[in-house]
Structure 1
Amino acid sequence: MGKARSSLLGYPRIGEQREWKKALEQFWAGKMNELEFRDKMEQIRLGHVKKLAEIGIDLIPVGDFSFYDHVLDTSAMFGLVPERFKYEGGKVSLETYFDIARGNQGAVASEMTKWFNTNYHYIVPELDKEPVLADNRPLRFFREAKEKLNIEGKPVILGPVTFVKLSKGYKRGFKDVVEQFVPLYAKILRELQEEGVKWVQIDEPILSTAISNEEFEIVEDVYHALQESAPKVNILLQTYFDSVEDYQKVITLPVKGIGLDFVHDRGENLKALKRHGFPADKVLAAGVIDGRNIWRANLEEKLLNLEEILQKVHKDSLIIQPSSSLLHVPVTVRNENLPQPLTGTLAFADEKSEEVVLLAKAVNHGKPSIAAKIVEAIVAFQHLNSSTFRNNRQIQEELKKLPSMKVSRAATFSIRQLEQEKAIPLPLLPTTTIGSFPQTADLRKRRQEWRKGQLSDVEYDDIIKSEIKRWVELQEEIGLDVLVHGEFERTDMVEFFGEKLAGFHFTKLGWVQSYGSRCVKPPIIFGDVTFESPMTLKETLYAQSLTDKPVKGMLTGPVTILNWSFVREDISRFQVANQIALALRKEVEVLEENGISMIQVDEPALREGLPLKPKHQEEYLNRAVYAFKLATSSVKNETQIHTHMCYSNFKQIIKAINALDADVISIETSRSHGELIQTFEEKTYGKGIGLGIYDIHSPRVPSLGEMLKNIERALRVLDKKLFWINPDCGLKTRGEAETIAALKVMIEAARQTRERLLVKER
């Protein structure tokens, strides 16, 4: 008698104590040699495999681990190193691998952008050369787990269609480029087959987007060729983040298994399964545990979903798994000390893995085998839902009034612009930064001492004031036109606000990888969000008291706080966004009342929540714009509202960017400057705008020529009277010396461009 199996698509790389991050940064700093680094990474990697075996996962992923990014790993596997890094063939060295991601003094890093609609960033492959199989990476990791742990894992590979679709720089047609990779993937599979590998997971999340009929034909051709190349290997074609675009076509693809997301599919995958059935000769990998949020699963509800699936799929043809890789959630709840209303309600990667095993157990042995766990979760959520945290009458009354509230600025941008020019005189091409400045190890240490009660509030405030004063003086010395206070009191742009608003909880070790070694600790929005007292006023007013130049108030926007948090699921996400927006509206008004005339409300994650399917995107964007305007629209005409956005495909959302009605927007673009400029060549933008002219994710100091080139390119399509000059993003993670050096180059580039334009006008 067959049985359902358990599986994971991927597991967090970072370790329970962020051991992975620490090893990376020690290696980059020269405090660990390559051999030590590789040994440490192997130890972490095998520890994960061993842990999953102990939990009871049947199909354990191998090859999902990465030194930086799995898309970059795929590029390196195929020897796809941009020419500027002077790669001479063979296996890509560790130095070159990290240079592609981080840049070096001689070459800029490859572009980085968001992985579909998540906060994970991948390095965009540059396909400017013929690919070769430089390293059979999946085979290496399969052998490692088998030889050192006697565990036969499931190799995980990013599929060729998705890989090419996410790439840039190729001049041949899409089909021709994909076909270049087919023999290489075929070789990988043949070598895995020779090794005795039973299952290989090939990720094609692109199938959950709106792909064309022509593109789907390419998918069919690719998988016919791959399955034929290694007929004894079971290919599990894995999709996630939404429903597949054409269910009937997907289930007929010539592979042994199909992985579907039954959490973020809006019910479409389940509906299609019930309507069209599922092939008897295939295995269905059902993603029923949420791979992207941290709430404990309602196992009774999940079993009902599985019962519906089992009406169309025999249990020995069923794999139970999360909806996506667990890369997007923290490692374990075990190390957390949770407050009473949250006790028993959370599940991180380890706990989700256990839930997968429990569901497989229930399918195989009946619901009573996990009855105690079902009751435990139900009782925990009953306590949370009935708590005062989720029943705040004040905010619920405010939300009821929203339909009658005016959510737009009092005047159009053209009128506001004239009033702002009178109130805040600025030179042509004004210069500024995005908000944060470098935080030293000593400052972070003192903050920890303060949090532990080892430093008084007065002592800590004096330290923060000292840093603000020093950097206000540095900004004036460098020559910036609009200053910031530097955000020295903030650990993270979302965490800082969440700690000052009701309805949030912060974990002790709930870290998640964002890009490279950069890990973030998303807050948990578990209750009603409300404003309690001013959050940014003290530091902003202090900075403004030190200078005659304008200092921007710095806030994180409602959609970014929403998208960079783990959000409660008992009400809609945009009800939560509107709660956050109402709280921020009060903060904006407090800043304005106290004479702060420029207020930046950052929305770097606005596009991040954009649904993958075009048919759902307009509703999301409309709601996102509404939340931003709800937070920012009550100010006077002469108060200048700024916003900032990160790497993104802005072409898709340019209408929404305009609809935000911010007076000035700064956009993180230096790694993809040309592509963004093309958007503005096609679409007119008539408000203040700053396109980041240098990359802050790399330690290199860019040349004057690079910055001048980026400014000049932008001014071909943007009004010089509306153009601002700024770095790509905040500077918190950079070193002080490189930050000052780069800003001086930026100021000189602005000065030379300004002079050239003024001479031209004479």
Structure 2
Amino acid sequence: MSKSSVIGFPRIGSLRELKHWTEDYFAGKLSLTQLHKNAAGLREQHWLWQKQKDIDFIPSNDFSFYDGVLDTACFLNLIPREYQDLGLHDTDTYFAMARGYQGEKGDVKALAMRKWFNTNYHYIVPVFDDDTEVRLNTDGPFSYYREAMKLGIKTKPVLLGPFTLLKLADYRGVKKAEDFAGPLISAYREVFSKFHSLGAEWLQMDEPILVTDLTQEEIGLFKDLYTGLLTGKEDLKVLLQTYFGDVRDVYREIMKLGFDGIGLDFLEGKKNLQLLEENGFPKNTLLFAGVVNGKNIWRNNYEKTRKMINQFTAKITEENIVINTSCSLLHVPYSLENEDNMDQKYKNHFAFAREKLQELGDLKELLDDQDEEKNEKYLQQIALRKTKEDDVNPGIQKRIKALSEKDFKRCPDFEEREKLQKAKLKLPVLPATTIGSFPQTAEVKAWRAKLKKKELAPAQYEENIKKKIAQCIAQQEEIGLDVLVHGEFERNDMVEYFGENLEGFLFTQKAWVQSYGTRCVKPPIIWTDIERKNPITLKYSTYAQSLTAKPVKGMLTGPVTILNWSFPREDISDKETAFQIALAIRDEVLDLEAHGIRVIQIDEAALKEKLPIRRADWHTEYLDWAISAFRLVHSSVRPETQIHTHMCYSEFGQMIKDIEAMDADVISFEASRSNLAIVNSLVEAGFQTEVGPGVYDIHSPRVPSKEEILKALKGMLGKIEQAKLWVNPDCGLKTRGETETIASLKNVVQAVLEIREEIKARQD
């Protein structure tokens, strides 16, 4: 009989309960005891759902209050000294590492945060210092296993594997990854022993780093780690789980190491099937076949999946095949059951996390069925895929076909535009600005909710938003910023807002997905061809500009980010969808320019998210069209119009030249949380575009001092020409409080003014 498995389940709660409980704890409204009690109830609910759907391999330790990588770091005592010295409770030390801490016990920044491979999820970067003592420090994974056992559910505990941990970490001393291999082997051996004594049958070791480009030295480290681990695993069965790509560099090595189960992604892992067919698969080893998409929400194509499984069975007996998700279901919403307002004709085509549990069951049944042509669910699913309405918009198709080379090139070249823009804008040296959004207060959110419920008239809502914009402009002028923003108070989300104002998108009520910590997003669904019918941002942008003589940025989300932060279609290429969105945003850009907006920011925060895992595929499969889509948006503006873009929380060092090829006039980056590492990359690449590396971390509630910002700016000025340097926070300010935001921005401006005085004194 066939079996099924889930790599991981969403943890935020069906209605974002975990987010609200955690934020209440931060605000002192919920006790630590109650927070943990509530979380235990959530875990119980998740396990019972999976048991009800007859999942054979149910994960535990896939839960996290903030981030699973951070959990692993704390579990293994990778807690830097500055956080230990705060003397906080273990849970508060954990949150200080994630969010920073500023209070009576000290002032420390948060650890760096980066994108989790090619997703919109962010992980906290673990740190190894030379004096780091690797040892088991918490009971988390074991306690979760015991919780499930009390419910009569024997779970498959999940751990981030040592190889991925070492590869993702930062090292602050002279020691490197290989220096910590021995201590990690000892710690993980202890984990194996403890789980064995608790009665665990399987342990899942997540090693997604195996799908990346690896050197022979790195492969050697991987082999050493698992040779050391697997020799002492006793009767515990170990599953090596990979996802997000294929294991072409290490397939043969993996097969020889003696794992009891091997998890491969057959959706994004484009070479995994070929590797299996050409090299075979070990006998008496279970293949955990990732065939149910953990990253998109369209129903599984049972016919296509059945054909793929038939190819496995040429090398593996069916009883050794486990139907698995392609990755954790963390990246999709909880359940369609919450979508009361969505027409059933749309819902029929989607599967969120709970529905994917049903798909796993259907595929198990299908695998056991000798005659799929008589399987009712199989036949219904094939019929369903033929019912989707026509997706083609002839007008958009015509515009796409009419594009030519000139539509992707802006004239004149950057150097000439830079001179014209400096003459036109007359900005001071080190112009100070923000990335875009200002705090979304409870009052603003209440207006939006009342508007949706028709409890607030559109005219009154617009008047309220304009008052808020006027306050925001006045605040920025008082603070002393040079290029202002309107605050984006009318926007629920930087992607959802644009989707709501474009043809071709569907929207959910409660389909939340975790982005990082307590931050959740509600990605729109791309259903048909995309078109802009009316201006989107023009009304509020021009109103804001009418209130000040200083330039106000027109704030737009770029086509690649809108695509990457939506659930895309599967019937056309991402390139075609990106070009459709680009044409829509291009129309908006030209409208803003025509109405006097002199600075336009087109955010591409998610540029790196669909970047292929393998560097050899970067240009052919993604960057060539992604950069072209951005250039299509702004290629027709006048030379004097200054185009900005913004990117955050990814490692951009290897693609700096590709970013410069986007041909923006100013690019702002997240920088402070990664210790300004991007600055060195810019210098090494000879970056010529004007640039604004973030001077403080907006994902932390702490207020940076003027001295801290001065230090950051002086470090930048040692490497970047002052004529090319902008000053701004890391990212938008919507998640921050008003008081801390104003205090932080005042310190930014005070630091800028002090440096300007120093520059003036040197010139005199």
TM-score by length of 1: 0.97
Question: 2:681 corresponds to which letter in structure 1?
Answer: T
**Which of 336, 347, 351 does residue 351 from structure 2 map onto?**
347
CA contact (8 A) 1:358 1:370 kept: no
Q: CA RMSD in A?
A: 1.4
Question: 2:668 corresponds to which letter in structure 1?
Answer: S
CA contact (8 A) 2:302 2:382 kept: no
Other-structure match for 1:86: 84
CA contact (8 A) 1:641 1:663 kept: yes
**Which of 140, 144, 154 does residue 141 from structure 1 map onto?**
144
Secondary structure at the aligned position of 1:10 is classed as coil
Distance 1:175 1:420, change over 3 A: same
Secondary structure at the aligned position of 2:562 is classed as helix
Question: 1:396 corresponds to which letter in structure 2?
Answer: Q
Measured in 1, the distance between the counterparts of 2:380 and 2:509 equals 24
Secondary structure at the aligned position of 1:297 is classed as coil
**Which of 702, 715, 721 does residue 723 from structure 2 map onto?**
721
Measured in 2, the distance between the counterparts of 1:221 and 1:673 equals 32
Measured in 2, the distance between the counterparts of 1:37 and 1:276 equals 49
**Which of 659, 665, 673 does residue 663 from structure 1 map onto?**
665
Other-structure match for 2:623: 621
**Which of 277, 280, 298 does residue 277 from structure 1 map onto?**
280
In the TM superposition, residue 757 of structure 1 has moved relative to its aligned partner by 1.5
Q: Any residues of structure 2 matched to 1:395-434 within 5 Å, and which?
A: 395-403=396-404, 405-434=406-435
Secondary structure at the aligned position of 1:519 is classed as strand
Secondary structure at the aligned position of 1:595 is classed as coil
Is 2:540 the counterpart of 1:552?
no
CA contact (8 A) 1:76 1:92 kept: no
**Which of 64, 68, 71 does residue 69 from structure 2 map onto?**
71
In the TM superposition, residue 87 of structure 1 has moved relative to its aligned partner by 4.7
Measured in 2, the distance between the counterparts of 1:570 and 1:439 equals 36
Question: 1:76 corresponds to which letter in structure 2?
Answer: C
Measured in 1, the distance between the counterparts of 2:670 and 2:490 equals 23
Secondary structure at the aligned position of 1:607 is classed as coil
Other-structure match for 1:41: 39
What is the CA deviation profile of residues 315-344 of structure 1, one whole-angstrom value per residue up to 9, with x for unaligned ones? 221111110000000011122132365231
Measured in 2, the distance between the counterparts of 1:100 and 1:695 equals 13
Other-structure match for 2:253: 249
**Which of 643, 646, 659 does residue 644 from structure 1 map onto?**
646
Distance 1:651 1:185, change over 3 A: same
Give the total of aligned pairs. Answer: 754
Other-structure match for 2:543: 542
Other-structure match for 1:706: 708
Secondary structure at the aligned position of 1:291 is classed as coil
CA contact (8 A) 2:676 2:693 kept: no
What is the CA deviation profile of residues 205-238 of structure 1, one whole-angstrom value per residue up to 9, with x for unaligned ones? 0110011112112211211221221220110000
Measured in 2, the distance between the counterparts of 1:281 and 1:218 equals 26
CA contact (8 A) 1:607 1:653 kept: no
Other-structure match for 1:598: 599
Other-structure match for 2:289: 286
Other-structure match for 2:612: 611
**Which of 56, 59, 62 does residue 58 from structure 1 map onto?**
56
Question: 2:747 corresponds to which letter in structure 1?
Answer: V
What is the CA deviation profile of residues 502-561 of structure 1, one whole-angstrom value per residue up to 9, with x for unaligned ones? 110111111000000000000101110111110000000000011111000000001101
Distance 1:615 1:194, change over 3 A: same
What is the CA deviation profile of residues 322-370 of structure 1, one whole-angstrom value per residue up to 9, with x for unaligned ones? 1000000001112213236523100001111111111112112335498
CA contact (8 A) 1:598 1:639 kept: yes
Question: 1:280 corresponds to which letter in structure 2?
Answer: K
Q: Any residues of structure 2 matched to 1:292-303 within 5 Å, and which?
A: 292-303=295-306
**Which of 173, 178, 182 does residue 175 from structure 1 map onto?**
178
Question: 1:78 corresponds to which letter in structure 2?
Answer: L
Question: 1:138 corresponds to which letter in structure 2?
Answer: P
**Which of 360, 363, 367 does residue 363 from structure 1 map onto?**
367
Distance 1:730 1:231, change over 3 A: same
Is 2:87 the counterpart of 1:100?
no
Measured in 2, the distance between the counterparts of 1:340 and 1:528 equals 21
Secondary structure at the aligned position of 2:481 is classed as coil
Other-structure match for 1:190: 193
Measured in 2, the distance between the counterparts of 1:627 and 1:502 equals 18
Question: 2:702 corresponds to which letter in structure 1?
Answer: R
CA contact (8 A) 1:79 1:92 kept: no
Measured in 2, the distance between the counterparts of 1:639 and 1:32 equals 50
Measured in 2, the distance between the counterparts of 1:740 and 1:376 equals 57
In the TM superposition, residue 55 of structure 1 has moved relative to its aligned partner by 1.1
Is 2:308 the counterpart of 1:305?
yes
Question: 2:297 corresponds to which letter in structure 1?
Answer: I
Other-structure match for 1:582: 583
Q: Any residues of structure 2 matched to 1:316-331 within 5 Å, and which?
A: 316-331=319-334
What is the CA deviation profile of residues 17-54 of structure 1, one whole-angstrom value per residue up to 9, with x for unaligned ones? 11111111111111100111100000001110111100
Other-structure match for 2:445: 444
Measured in 2, the distance between the counterparts of 1:380 and 1:752 equals 65
Question: 1:82 corresponds to which letter in structure 2?
Answer: P
The percentage of counterpart residues that share the same residue type is: 46
Measured in 1, the distance between the counterparts of 2:198 and 2:483 equals 62
CA contact (8 A) 2:671 2:694 kept: yes
Other-structure match for 2:23: 25
**Which region of structure 1 is more displaced relative to structure 2, 91-100 or 546-555?**
91-100
CA contact (8 A) 2:710 2:751 kept: yes
CA contact (8 A) 1:211 1:245 kept: no
Measured in 1, the distance between the counterparts of 2:567 and 2:702 equals 34
Is 2:370 the counterpart of 1:372?
no
Question: 2:361 corresponds to which letter in structure 1?
Answer: V
Q: Extract unaligned runs of 5+ from structure 1.
A: none
Measured in 2, the distance between the counterparts of 1:382 and 1:403 equals 34
Measured in 2, the distance between the counterparts of 1:231 and 1:255 equals 12
**Which region of structure 1 is more displaced relative to structure 2, 510-519 or 302-311?**
302-311
CA contact (8 A) 2:693 2:727 kept: yes
Question: 1:571 corresponds to which letter in structure 2?
Answer: I
CA contact (8 A) 1:87 1:96 kept: no
**Which of 12, 22, 27 does residue 14 from structure 1 map onto?**
12
Distance 1:546 1:674, change over 3 A: closer
Distance 1:681 1:92, change over 3 A: farther
Is 2:454 the counterpart of 1:456?
no
Other-structure match for 2:342: 338
Question: 1:465 corresponds to which letter in structure 2?
Answer: K
Q: Extract unaligned runs of 5+ from structure 2.
A: none
Is 2:111 the counterpart of 1:110?
yes
Measured in 2, the distance between the counterparts of 1:708 and 1:599 equals 28
Measured in 2, the distance between the counterparts of 1:748 and 1:370 equals 74
CA contact (8 A) 2:502 2:532 kept: yes
What is the CA deviation profile of residues 455-497 of structure 1, one whole-angstrom value per residue up to 9, with x for unaligned ones? 1110100110010001100000000000000000000000000
In the TM superposition, residue 376 of structure 1 has moved relative to its aligned partner by 2.8
TM-score by length of 2: 0.97
Other-structure match for 1:741: 743
Measured in 2, the distance between the counterparts of 1:585 and 1:482 equals 22
Measured in 2, the distance between the counterparts of 1:252 and 1:138 equals 28
**Which region of structure 1 is more displaced relative to structure 2, 399-408 or 190-199?**
399-408
Question: 1:29 corresponds to which letter in structure 2?
Answer: A
Measured in 2, the distance between the counterparts of 1:16 and 1:28 equals 21
